[in-house]
Structure formats: structure tokens, C-alpha cells
Amino acid sequence: MSQQRTAIVTGAARGIGAAVAKRLASDGHAVAVIDLDEAACAATVDAITAAGGKAVAIGADVSDEQAVAAAFERIVAELGAPTILVNNAGIIRDNMLFKMSVSDWDSVMGVHLRGAFLMARAAQQHMVEAKFGRIVNLSSTSALGNRGQANYSAAKAGMQGFTKTLAIELGKFGVTANAIAPGFIETEMTAETAARLGVDYEDFKKFSAQQIPVARVGQPEDIAATTSFLTSEESGFVSGQVIYVAGGPKD
């Protein structure tokens, strides 16, 4: 059994974040479940505590410096110094470039990049002190380019560069940083994409599965399993990597 640590998962009220939070709790860690709306985190926290784990719900806008500082104060006080961070919080504001507003651009950059920066900057001091840390940033196959997602694809590509730099700067302190780039994962976000395209979600999943070598769409638990490894003691020689969890090869 690995040592119990305090883990933070952002965007953990639902979807991939919720699955990751539950998995890290089942790995024996205490988990800070962060989302914009604290009440929305209740289901994730309840599932963790019902299974015998330890978790707290924290409402915070990760793109707000003061909100992040306040969240860390609570985490340290209620769960202990965090040494595992999963930057999963994300939003989509999809549109073709000629129709994309500045606020659509800024809000996506704010949550993904500014949010990951603020969370990582706050977490690293605890990790450096403990001489152990695991940072996992959620990227996406959209980082390779995706029609209608100039903002999201730029942010997710940015997450990869950010991750590699964290790996270089923090490695000597026992801290690793890696990115997971999911392909098609069955979540509310992909359901939103289908709705935007005017396609039935079941048809959308079926069509997507036909393009994927393993012949199925991904589940949040697929990402949670990869996160479990990357946050474990034994993953200490894996750092600065982008792992495409997409059912097949991506360039």
C-alpha cells in the first residue's frame, strides 16, 4: 500500500474529475474535490466517504488567485499539505474563429492555463517541502488541432508545454509532472459537443467508436486509471510526458 497523501482534483464535481477523485481516494489518499460550485461536489464527496475514503468539497474558481489561496488554506487545515495535484478543470466555448468572441477566448484560457498555473504554483511549495510531488495536467487530443476549437486546442497545447517546464524545474525536488491527453471520453462535455453539432449523442458515440482502433469510446475511469499510475510512488521516473489515452495512436 502506498503512503496516504493529500490529493487535489479540480473540476471534480462530475465526469473525468469525479472519476479521478474517486480513484485516488480508493488508492488511499485524502482528496480535495474542487469545482466552481461547492454544492455540485457533494455527489463525488458522498461517493468517496460512502466507500470509506476521506474527501472535502471546496468551491473555487481556479482562475482567481485569491480563491486559489483560500482553497489551499482550507486544504492544508482540513486534509494536510497536498502533494498530488490533478489539474482537470476545464470549459468549452466552441466556435469557428470568425465567430469566436474575446470573452470565449479569455474564459477558456483562464480556466485551463491560468487555473493550472495558479494551482501548480500554490501546490509546488508543499511538494518541494515534502520532497515528493505528482502533478497531472489534463490536455486533450484537441491539442493537435480541432475545427471549432481554436481556444480549447490552444489551451490544451499550452498545457503540454506548461507540463514539460514543470517537469524540468521541479524534478530535482522529487516532483514529477505529466499530462494526459484524452481522446473521446463519454462525459457531459462530449454530449455538449454532439448537441452543438446537431447530432444525436448515441449516433455520435457510435460514429466516434468506428474511428478508434480499440473500437469503443473512452470512459472517465480510463483516465482515472492512468492518473492513478502517474500519481503513484512507482511512477517517479516518468516525467514531462504527454500520454494520449485515446484508444489508438496520436501524433
In sequence order, the β-bridge partners of residue 134 are: 84, 176
Q: Is 152 a residue of the active site?
A: yes
Catalytic residue among 152, 162, 204, 244: 152
3-state secondary structure string, the chain? Answer: CCCCCEEEEECCCCHHHHHHHHHHHHCCCEEEEEECCHHHHHHHHHHHHHCCCCEEEEECCCCCHHHHHHHHHHHHHHCCCEEEEEECCCCCCCECHHHCCHHHHHHHHHHHHHHHHHHHHHHHHHHHHHCCEEEEEECCHHHHCCCCEHHHHHHHHHHHHHHHHHHHHHHHHCEEEEEEEECCECCHHHHHHHHHHCCCHHHHHHHHHHHCCCCCCECHHHHHHHHHHHCCHHHCCCCCCEEEECCCCCC
Residues classed as catalytic: 152
